[in-house]
C-alpha cells in the first residue's frame, strides 16, 4: 500500500529575473516523514521551502498539500507552519501570546488556548515562561518558542528553515535530538532545510541533496553516504576519495574498473554505468593502510600502493594522506585500534598498500567535475 503523500511538488520552477533559483523540481514528501533539503547556499533549498510556505510564488509548476492544489494560495490559507531561520518571534508579545497567535487567529476558545499553550510549552520544555518577552530568552529558548508557536497549530507539514543555524555547536547537537524527539512525538511531517550535512544525516528519514536549483540525489542518509551517485554528493556528505578509470568488465554483482595506470579495482554493479569512463570512490574510513608495501590483493580486496605524504594523529583516529603512483591523493582515517600513541605512526615517505572491500566502493558515471568532487572545497559544510 502506498504511503499517503503530504507535499507534492510538480515541476516547480522559480526565476528571480534572469536567475533560476529552482529548476523544474519535482518531489514527494510522505506523511510523518522527516525530510531534509541539504545543499550549499544558493542551491534553491530555502526558495523551495518558501514556495511550500506560500512566501514565494512559483514561476511555473504546481504545489499540492495532500490532494489540494495550493499553488496560488497565500500563506495564511495553507495548512503549513514555518520555523524561521531567525525565529521571527513577535518582540512585543509575551511567550504565551506568541504561541497562542495562530490559535487566536482561528478563533479557538480562550480556555482551550490556555490548555493548549500550556501543553505545548511543556512539550518544548519551557513551562512557566508564559509571561516572558522574547528578548528575555536565550537563543535556545527562543528556538523552542518558535517551534511551539508553529507546532501548536498542528499543521499538515512543518517547515524549518535552518532553525539551528544561530545556536552554538553544543546546543545545536542537543536541539537536533530534541527536534527528532518532538517530531516522533507529534507525528507531523517535517521539511527541514540545512546546509549542515551532519545535521541532516542525524535527523532525517530522507534527504534531498540540492545543487543549482535541482535535486542531485534523493535517498536515506545511508544510501547517500554509501552510494553517492555524483561527485558533488560524495563531496558534500563527508570526505571521499575519487579515482578515474574505465569500466573494463563485470561478473554479475561486481564491475571491474581499470584505472589509467592499469590497476584493476572492483565495485558493486548496482545502478552505475557499465561502460565508458567512470570515477570510483571510497570513503576514508573504509581504507586499510598496510606498511608491507607489496602485501598483495588477497581475499578479493581492492588494493592500491602509494606513499605516505602526511600523517596526523587526532586521538580517536589517525589521518593519513597517501599519494598513489598515478599521483592521486587519498585520505585515510585509520582507527587507532592497535597503536599506543603518536609514536607508532607511519612516517612520511613510507611505501604502503591501501586495501578495501569492493562492496565499500561506489561508482560515479562520467568524468571530471573537479571542483564539486574536491572534498577540501566542501569540507566547510560539515562540523567537527
Partner 1 sequence: MTAAPAAATRRPGLGARLANLVLPVFTGLLLLFLFSPIGVMIAFSFNDPAGRQNITWQGFTVRNYFDLWGRSQITTPMINSLLIATVSTVVATTFGTMIGLALTRFAFRGRWIMNMLIFIPITAPEIILGASLLTLWVSLGVERGFLTILAAHIMFNISFVVVTVRARLAGMNQSLEEAGMDLYADGRTTFWKITFPIIFPGILSAALLAFALSIDDYVITLFSAGHTLTFPLWVFGVSRLGIPPEVNVLGTLIFLTAFAFIGVQLWGQRRQGRAAPITLVGR
Q: Does 94 bind partner 1 (CB under 8 A)?
A: no
Coarse DSSP helix, strand, coil percentages of the chain, rounded to the nearest 5 percent: 30, 35, 35
- Give whole-number Cα distances, 13 to 40, 124, 347, in Å: 19, 36, 53
Residue 100 sits at the vertex; the CA angle it makes with 96 and 102, to the nearest 5 degrees, is: 150
Note whether 135 binds partner 1 by CB under 8 A: yes
Residue with smaller CB distance to partner 1, 116 or 318: 116
From residue 332, alpha-carbon distances to 76, 197, 310, 329 in Å are 51, 20, 10, 10
Figure out which of the listed residues 36, 47, 141, 153 binds partner 1, where binding follows CB under 8 A.
153
Q: Minimal distance in Å, beta carbon 11 to partner 1?
A: 25
Decide: is 55 part of the binding site for partner 1 (CB under 8 A): yes
Return the residue of 4, 60, 86, 174 that touches partner 1, per CB under 8 A.
86
Taking CB under 8 A as the binding criterion, the range among 99-107, 212-220, 355-363, 368-376 that sits at the site for partner 1 is 99-107
**C-alpha to C-alpha distance for 217 and 222, rounded to whole angstroms:** 12
318-347: which residues touch partner 1 (CB under 8 A)?
Answer: none
Per-residue contact string for residues 1-40; x = within reach of partner 1 by CB under 8 A: ----------------------------------------
- C-alpha pair distances (Å), 55 with each of 88, 89, 100, 312, 326: 14, 17, 22, 48, 52
Size of the site for partner 1 (CB under 8 A): 26
Q: Which is nearer to partner 1, 123 or 150 (CB)?
A: 150
CA–CA separation, 345 and 315 (whole Å): 12
> Does residue 142 belong to the site contacting partner 1 (CB under 8 A)?
no
Residue given cell 535541482 in the structure block: 214
Between β-strands 80-83 and 34-38, what pairing exists: parallel, antiparallel or unpaired? unpaired
Which residues in the 348-367 window bind partner 1 by CB under 8 A?
none
**Contact residue for partner 1 among 68, 90, 128, 379 (CB under 8 A):** 90
Distance of alpha carbon 18 from alpha carbon 218, whole angstroms: 27
Position 91 contacts partner 1 (CB under 8 A): yes
Which spans of this chain sit near partner 1 (rule: CB under 8 A)? 53-55, 74-76, 80-82, 84-86, 88-92, 101-102, 105-106, 133, 135, 149-150, 153
Amino acid at each position: 500500500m502506498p504511503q499517503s503523500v503530504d507535499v507534492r511538488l510538480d515541476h516547480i520552477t522559480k526565476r528571480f529575473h534572469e536567475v533560476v533559483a529552482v529548476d523544474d523540481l519535482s518531489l514527494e514528501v510522505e506523511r510523518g516523514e522527516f525530510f531534509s533539503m541539504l545543499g550549499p547556499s544558493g542551491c534553491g533549498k530555502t526558495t523551495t521551502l518558501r514556495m511550500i510556505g506560500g512566501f514565494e510564488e512559483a514561476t511555473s509548476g504546481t504545489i499540492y498539500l495532500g490532494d489540494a492544489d495550493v499553488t496560488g494560495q497565500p500563506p495564511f490559507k495553507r495548512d503549513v507552519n514555518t520555523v524561521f531561520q531567525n525565529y521571527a518571534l513577535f518582540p512585543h508579545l509575551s511567550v504565551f501570546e506568541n504561541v497562542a497567535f495562530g490559535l487566536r487567529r482561528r478563533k479557538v476558545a480562550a480556555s482551550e488556548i490556555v490548555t493548549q499553550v500550556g501543553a505545548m510549552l511543556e512539550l518544548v520544555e519551557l513551562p512557566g515562561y508564559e509571561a516572558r518577552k522574547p528578548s528575555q530568552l536565550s537563543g535556545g529558548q527562543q528556538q523552542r518558542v518558535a517551534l511551539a508557536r508553529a507546532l501548536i497549530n498542528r499543521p499538515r507539514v512543518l517547515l524549518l528553515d535552518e532553525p539551528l543555524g544561530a545556536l552554538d555547536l553544543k546546543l545545536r547537537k542537543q536541539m537536533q535530538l530534541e527536534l527528532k524527539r518532538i517530531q516522533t512525538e507529534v507525528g507531523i511531517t517535517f521539511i527541514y532545510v540545512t546546509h549542515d550535512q551532519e545535521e541532516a544525516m542525524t535527523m532525517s528519514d530522507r534527504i534531498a541533496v540540492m545543487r543549482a536549483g535541482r535535486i542531485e540525489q534523493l535517498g536515506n542518509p545511508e544510501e547517500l553516504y554509501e552510494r553517492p551517485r555524483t561527485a558533488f554528493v560524495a563531496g558534500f556528505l563527508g570526505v571521499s576519495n575519487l579515482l578515474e578509470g574505465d569500466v573494463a568488465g563485470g561478473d554479475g554483482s561486481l564491475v571491474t574498473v581499470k584505472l589509467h595506470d592499469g590497476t584493476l579495482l572492483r565495485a558493486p554493479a548496482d545502478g552505475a554505468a557499465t561502460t565508458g569512463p567512470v570515477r570510483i570512490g571510497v570513503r576514508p574510513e573504509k581504507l586499510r593502510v598496510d606498511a608491507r608495501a607489496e602485501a598483495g590483493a588477497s581475499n578479493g580486496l581492492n588494493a592500491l600502493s602509494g606513499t605516505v605524504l602526511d600523517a596526523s594523529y587526532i586521538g580517536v583516529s589517525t589521518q593519513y594522506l597517501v599519494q598513489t603512483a598515478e599521483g592521486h591523493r587519498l585520505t585515510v582515517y585509520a582507527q587507532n585500534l592497535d597503536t599506543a600513541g603518536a609514536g607508532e605512526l607511519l612516517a612520511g615517505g613510507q611505501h604502503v598498500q591501501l586495501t578495501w572491500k569492493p562492496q565499500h566502493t561506489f561508482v560515479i558515471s562520467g568524468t571530471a567535475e573537479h571542483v564539486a568532487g574536491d572534498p577540501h572545497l566542501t569540507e566547510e559544510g560539515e562540523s567537527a
